[in-house]
Amino acid sequence: MKLTKHNLSEKTNQVYDVIVVGGGAGGLSAGIYLQPYLLSSLIIDKGKARSLWMQELHNYLGLPPDTPGKTLLKQGKEHYLSVGGDLLNAYVEEIIDEGETFLVRVKVGRTNSICVEFRAKYIIAASGIIDHLPALEKMQNVFDYAGYNLHVCLLCDGYEMRDQKVGVFASSESAAQVAFSLGWFTPHITVFTQGLFDVSSELRQKLKEHRYSLVETPVKQFLGENHQMNGVELEDGSVINLEAGLISMGSRYHSDYLENLDLEYQGGNLITDQMGRTSHPRIFALGDLKVGMNQVVVAAADGAMSATQIWRDIRRQTGAKRNLSNLAA
């Protein structure tokens, strides 16, 4: 059921089998596996899944290629609620390992917010990442185009940019390297450093060899209309025409709540085994938060695997039929 400030008190004194942090593709897929395994689950979602941005999921098997990300998430939430899962819109502040269970501290509501605690035997960290965007004075100007023709994923949208005049907005020397992979799709590339880093002579040389342009003057604003970006205006007033953009500025990982749990990371990504288990035997991670490809269908498969492994764990410990009446209603 959908939990709100008003009905959640009945759920705070039970122990869930699994609390899933994040209601994006990975978390929802985990949920629609967990419930039919007769495991009780709560998905806590703060409503900012990366796939919400996506105007078209080009590559998700089973859905037409013009399906918006939000359609997938809506269907997934309905599916999850229909199999009896609990869903709460809230922000997870902290998770404390109590031994047999985890204590999950949650803030509900943006105004008049209340703090509540839930408990679970297992945690699935499915809270994903969000892309860093160019920090302009008017951020709305960035949001107007991001997810339309101002892309954040070369794998997903490279094809959309084929033979187009593309601006790569990079935040570091290594982030700028994506320009050379983008070169598979188009030769018309301009790299914008936005004045954020010094360009080495090696990179200058390599860009020159590929005949890519380099712009170091900061960007003032994106130009365009109806969500179609068609160029940038620089701080010095000059204008550069573009047909698409690719942002390569790294990501913020939504994993602060895991801070005190001493998990193993590679870069910002959680290290897991094939089934999604982290270095803590009862914490799983999936999708963009773990090492691997950042694709919706991969996150969905990760959810299926984490849920299945947790079911195997609990089934083997219990060694008997789950008593249906013990299940969270």
Footprint of a copy of itself (CB under 8 A): 25, 28-29, 32-33, 36-38, 58-65, 67, 72, 75-76, 79, 82-83, 155, 158-159, 162-163, 181, 183-187, 274, 292-293, 295, 297-298, 300-305, 308, 311, 315, 318, 320-322, 324
**Residue 82 vs 241, nearer CB to a copy of itself:** 82
Smallest distance from a copy of itself to CB 286, Å: 11
Smallest distance from a copy of itself to CB 213, Å: 16
Smallest distance from a copy of itself to CB 161, Å: 11
Smallest distance from a copy of itself to CB 62, Å: 5
**Residue 104 vs 125, nearer CB to a copy of itself:** 125
d(CA 61, CA 65): 9
- How many residues appear in the chain? 329
**Residue 37 vs 197, nearer CB to a copy of itself:** 37
Smallest distance from a copy of itself to CB 220, Å: 31
**Residue 189 vs 261, nearer CB to a copy of itself:** 189
**Residue 143 vs 184, nearer CB to a copy of itself:** 184
